[in-house]
Amino acid sequence: MNQLIIFDTTLRDGEQSPGASMTREEKVRIAKMLERMRVDVIEAGFPIASPGDFEAVRAVARVVRNSTVCGLARAADADIDRAGEALKEAAAGRIHTFIATSPIPDQVVERAVEAVRRARRWTDDVEFSAEDAGRSELDFLCRITEAVIKAGARTVNIPDTVGYNVPDQFAHTIRSLIERVPNADQAIFSVHCHNDLGLAVANSLAAVLAGARQVECTINGLGERAGNASLEEIVMTVRTRRDVFQLETGIDTTQIVPASRLVANITGFPVQPNKAIVGANAFAHESGIHQDGVLKHRETYEIMRAEDVGWNANRMVLGKHSGRNAFRTRLEELGVSFASEEELNSAFARFKELADKKHEIFDEDLQALVTDANLAAENERVKLLYLRVCSETGETPRAQVTLAVDGVEHNATADGGGPVDASFKAIDSILQTGTDLLLYSVNNITSGTDSQGEVTVRVAKGGRIVNGQGADTDIVIASAKAYVNALNKVLQPVERAHPQLL
């Protein structure tokens, strides 16, 4: 086996990051992007978690044709049947069933075996995970692994659920399992590492060297707490250090940066500039000596080429004179389709407005345009109708805002430390939601001062955390849109409650 299977769990474990919830449409967009990237397995969600999760997995299973679509299920009949239902229309569907460790090992093994057997009634492609395996007794792991393979699990996943392992130790666990379990040759060994100590990628790669042939990972390393192993780092390490790994992945690496941007844009989790592979500075050689070196002998300093991971995908795609067809075609290539002519027309009108303000329109602008419209359209009780900000040297900035709340117009004026602060205060004085602002960040979507600003705000209320996003060539308006988007989410009833994984 010289193939490494890439199992992406951005839509499931990634989504479990507080504030990273995605709608069904957003999941479908990301899934199509993952399929274009040729990810082997896309874990689309946890169907029993909520009706919304079920529908999202079903929608992904319907549209994805070239990757396996996977649904997560605890080792309980109802969970497994719900996952099986959600995956019915998949071209290739996998049920991933997991069990938490417990002080009574016999019962755990028995339940795990029953769960795998039940899942096999729905599909031949069954994966089993023993949660927190990274801290479990090796003898017990050998025993449960042998039993679930016998019951029909084709993939056995070893999660380091709390990110506690270190590479040598984790590699030892994988190597020992492969050596000691008598039927180990009948299954693929997989790893799923969390990044609490910053070791998720290192642990995953050590496990690969010890014989694991599937890695579970996420775009941008999104995931619970400190996240999961990052897909881009795993894929590019295996590719760049083929001499060490002697393995191939099926990934089209030129889709990595576009996928990273799409996930950051949809979830509102921006990528740090110095993040490997996908950070804005990942290929920027600042020091004079390096720049000189790069120009003379590119390969001396650049172990990878920026274009191989899709950095040059940032090309001008459309402009002021582009027609409706070109607009629709490019968005379809990006995985966005329109439910009706009316939807297309309104998106096209927004595109024309943007093209008036901004000369060159890039893929990232189109993504932001669609995300912004989706955000505005979904479940909104509050609409931003008008914003005027006055900001000048020596004067206190003042914002005047008009919101429609459940269809009724409200006006407010507020002063603030800056134009964004004044706008948020004016919005607060109308909505009085009592939320705390946890994060405010602005990113330019493309380069240049005419770029759209993409704003993320994170707010908390009563232990619930939500993100809001907004994009506009005017960053104060983008900020107000993002704030209103977050507050709209706060005003919604809580729909999702993920069953505890630990």
Residues in touch with Zn ion (CB under 5 A): 13
For residue 112, the Cα-to-chain-centroid distance in whole angstroms is 29
d(CA 422, CA 210): 56
In the complex, minimum distance from the CB of residue 458 to Zn ion, in angstroms, rounded to a whole number = 22
Q: How many CB atoms lie within 10 A of CB 291?
A: 13
Per rule CB under 6 A, count of chain residues that contact ligand KIV: 10
Q: What is the dihedral of CA 103, 45, 225, 255, to 10 degrees?
A: 140
Strands (E), 305-406: 316-319, 360-362, 382-390, 398-405
Residue 218 near ligand KIV by CB under 6 A: no
Residue 98 near ligand KIV by CB under 6 A: yes
**Which residues, other chains included, contact 472 with Cβ-Cβ below 8 Å and sequence gap of 6+?**
372, 452, 453, 478, 481
Nearest to 389 by CA among 485, 475, 287, 290: 475
Tokens (6 digits) for 377: 């359209």
d(CA 288, CA 185): 52
Q: Which is nearer to ligand KIV, 45 or 159 (CB)?
A: 159
Residue 94 near ligand KIV by CB under 6 A: no
Q: Which is nearer to Zn ion, 71 or 453 (CB)?
A: 71
Q: Which is nearer to ligand KIV, 81 or 131 (CB)?
A: 131
d(CA 359, CA 364): 14
Residues facing 383 on adjacent strands:
404
Binding site partner of 129, from Zn ion, ligand KIV, none, Cβ cut-off 5-8 A by kind: ligand KIV
Query: Which residues in 103-132 contact ligand KIV (CB under 6 A)?
Result: 129, 131
In the complex, minimum distance from the CB of residue 296 to ligand KIV, in angstroms, rounded to a whole number = 46
Q: Which is nearer to Zn ion, 224 or 372 (CB)?
A: 224
Residue 163 near ligand KIV by CB under 6 A: no
Residue 76 near ligand KIV by CB under 6 A: no
Q: Which is nearer to Zn ion, 191 or 459 (CB)?
A: 191
Binding site partner of 327, from ligand KIV, Zn ion, none, Cβ cut-off 5-8 A by kind: none
Residue 159 near ligand KIV by CB under 6 A: yes
Which range binds ligand KIV by CB under 6 A, 157-165, 312-320, 371-379, 385-393? 157-165
Residue 373 near ligand KIV by CB under 6 A: no
Q: Which is nearer to Zn ion, 13 or 146 (CB)?
A: 13
Backbone angles phi, psi at 56, to 5 degrees: -65, -45
In the complex, minimum distance from the CB of residue 12 to Zn ion, in angstroms, rounded to a whole number = 8
Tokens (6 digits) for 358: 């901004």
Residues facing 215 on adjacent strands:
6, 191
